[in-house]
Amino acid sequence: MPERNDTERLAACEARYQQLARDLSSIGVVASGSLALRSHRCGKPHCACGADPPRPHGPYWHWTAKVQGKTVNRRLSADEADLYQQWIANDRQLRHLVDELHRVAQQIIELTLATTRATTKV
Ligand SMILES: [Zn+2]
CB 87 within 8 A of CB 28: yes
How much distance in Å is there from the Cα of 34 to the middle of ligand 1?
Answer: 25
How much distance in Å is there from the Cα of 46 to the middle of ligand 1?
Answer: 8
Q: Within 13 Å and on the Cβ side, how many CA atoms surround 84?
A: 20
Q: Within 13 Å and on the Cβ side, how many CA atoms surround 42?
A: 10
Give the number of other CB atoms < 10 A from CB of residue 88: 18
How much distance in Å is there from the Cα of 62 to the middle of ligand 1?
Answer: 17
CB 93 within 8 A of CB 29: no
pTM exceeds 0.95, yes or no: no
How much distance in Å is there from the Cα of 61 to the middle of ligand 1?
Answer: 17
Chain segment 43-98, per-residue pLDDT in tens: 999 999 999 999 999 999 999 999 899 999 999 999 999 999 999 999 999 999 99
Q: What is the mean pLDDT of the chain?
A: 93
CA distance 115 to 104: 16
